[in-house]
Amino acid sequence: MKTRWEFFFDAIGFKFDREYKYKGEAIPPEGSKEHDGAAIPFVVKFIPDEQDDKQSINQTGRLVVELPLYDDEAKDFAYHVAYLAQQKISFEHGRLKIHSAFIVGKRIPETKEEEAEVGDSPYFATFKFKEVVEAPKFDPKSFSSPKISPDSLRLLSQYNSAKSANNPIDMYLGLFKIIEDQFCGKNRKETIGEALKGSDLFLSYIKRPFQFRRLSNKTQPYKSYSVIS
């Protein structure tokens, strides 16, 4: 049994001039059903959509992954191959954005027994839904706050960039860079940890949201450096 998985993509900053097909092998990710250290063959196709706007530098299309596995076995590996393709192309070209919320698939039988098993329902689809909460209202007082200094504007820009990161690691590194720039001096002999421990202002900030519960069940704030040691 083979399965075909179709991911929709946006090619940002580059274009596919035609359909491309590749064959390869990859080791399934750890934790998946197929992970035993052996490589599994796959086929990848990049199928661009017809565009009305020929001048646009962006493009939509489908990334097709074909695997010699049943759909319940192939799901994690299909995502893995799509992720590999996304990272490889984004490194070499512009940005390839894969949409994984809606995926169309097809079971491709290779024997009469598998044809009977598939029957008249070869197609399947996967969905991912996310609850959309009501957007917060604009606070007019926030824009008329006190003037922003050049240093504060730089930190504000860093924070907005970190907040818009696509993955939690980039967000964490971006936010930590703000802390490093704000509280760590230029003393190269001093480690970041030593600089943060020696900053009373930094400690006053981080002690606000942290509390711990003693054996007496009374909640009290942190009063020592143990929170960052």
What pLDDT, in 10s, does the model give residues 50-78?
877 666 778 999 999 999 999 888 888 89
Domain co-membership, 123 together with 167: no
Give the span between the Cα atoms of 100 and 82, in whole angstroms: 9
Domain co-membership, 123 together with 148: no
Domain co-membership, 180 together with 112: no
Domain co-membership, 11 together with 119: yes
Domain co-membership, 110 together with 169: no
Domain co-membership, 151 together with 42: no
Boundary of a domain, candidates 65, 100, 127: 127
Give the span between the Cα atoms of 8 and 63, in whole angstroms: 6
Domain co-membership, 98 together with 157: no
How many domains are contained in the chain? Answer: 2
The model's pLDDT over 141-185, given as tens digits with 9 standing for 90+, comes to 877 766 777 777 888 888 899 988 888 899 999 988 888 888 886
Q: Among 78-87, 120-129, 196-205, whose mean pLDDT is lowest?
A: 196-205
Residue 138 lies in a domain: no
Residue 38 lies in a domain: yes
Domain co-membership, 7 together with 94: yes
In this prediction the pTM is 0.65
Residue 169 lies in a domain: yes
Domain holding 200, by residue range, is: 144-227
Residue 194 lies in a domain: yes
Locus of tokens 């990848």: 44
Residue 136 lies in a domain: no
Give the span between the Cα atoms of 12 and 61, in whole angstroms: 11
